[in-house]
Every structure is written in structure tokens, then in C-alpha cells.
Amino acid sequence: MFKHVILWQLKDELTPELKEAVKREAKAALEGLVGQVPGLLSVQVNINGIDTSNADMMLDCTLQDEASLRAYATHPAHVAVADSKVRPFTKARVCMDFPV
């Protein structure tokens, strides 16, 4: 199995209300990819960081194997969510992929 973990910072110009809406919509869309993307076993998106956090959202995916991880990156359902619910609103992204 492989883990795919991402931390995002949202753009500074987003209002607090818009940031909350973006986080809720991204969480629902990303977690909804389970069952759509082959080899994607689980997705958890945390949007409730405390004040000591310097990221706004965290994605934690478990994938069947490295081939599934690579296929997930270009799967149309994943790309559609990333392009519509995440990328337009983020200023920074940090990712770590690793075997478990």
C-alpha cells in the first residue's frame, strides 16, 4: 500500500466565509473519489486545523500500490476535482508519497 499526503494553504485574498466553503466543498469532492478511482482505498480530508497550524487542509489517501498512485494522479475524476475544487483556491501545496 501507498500513502499520498498533501497539505494546502489557501489563498490569502479569500474571505473567511469563502475559505470555509472551499474547504467543505473540497473535502466532499475529494472523499467522494473513493469508488471512482481504481486502487484508491481511502481518502480523509481534514479541514479543522487548530490555530497553531500553518496549513488549511490536509489530504490523506491510501492507495493499493505505486501503480494506483500514479494512475490516481491523472485519473479524470481526480483531475476534475483538483481543477475545480482545489487548485483555483490554493497558494501552496506540499506532498509526500510513501509505502506503508
Give the CA dihedral 56, 23, 20, 89, nearest 10 degrees. 80
Give residue 21's pLDDT.
98
**Residue-level length of the chain:** 100
Q: How many CB atoms lie within 10 A of CB 63?
A: 24
Give residue 85's pLDDT.
98
Give residue 8's pLDDT.
98
**Architecture of the domain spanning 2-99:** 2-Layer Sandwich (3.30)
Give residue 93's pLDDT.
98
Segments in the chain below pLDDT 50:
none
Give residue 27's pLDDT.
98
Write down the domain spans for the chain.
2-99
